[in-house]
Amino acid sequence: MNPFDWISLFNILSREQKYHSLSDHLKRMIGYYILEVAKLDVEVAGVLDKIPLTVRRPPPKNLSKRKIGKIVNSNWSVAYNSKEGLENIKRIFYLSDKHLHKTPVLKHILHITNKLQSNTADDKTCINDMLRWYIEFRKRIMAMIPRVFDRQANEVKPEE
């Protein structure tokens, strides 16, 4: 079973009282899974007051020459600008490191890669499919946290 199946099954079993003990077991299993995700995902870790165990790769030496929004499919990376205070700072996004970027950054990457006409349709499709899937995955995990960890729902604000 994949995590989406666990979440769906948990939702179904939660509605039926006769499955209460099975639901508790599934709740524990999902809790352990979410704690594992928190070791990698920056947003999930933040909600659970954890520190992700992974770090971002250093930027490539040619980052200053990279065009904003251009997909480099040899390593599936995209250059983008990030605001820090009043300054725009050029950064690199690697698709394999999507879990280290918050949802607004992922949405920004989607926007700039789709807007740039020089990106191929196939490259755009790959980035779109992976990022949209990951955003949806993260949203579902974030929605489960209040129920699994008995946290207040207002503590968890998944990005829309």
pLDDT in tens, 19-60: 667 767 777 888 888 888 999 999 999 999 988 888 788 888
Percent of the chain with pLDDT over 90: 51
Whole-model pTM?
0.78
With bands split at pLDDT 50, 70 and 90, how would you rate the model's confidence at 155? Answer: very low
Q: How many CA atoms lie within 13 A of 157 on its CB side?
A: 4
Residues in the chain: 160
Domain ranges of the chain: 3-153
User: What is the number of other CB atoms lying within 10 angstroms of the CB of residue 141?
Assistant: 24
| Residue (of 46, 42, 45) closest to 55 by Cα position | 42
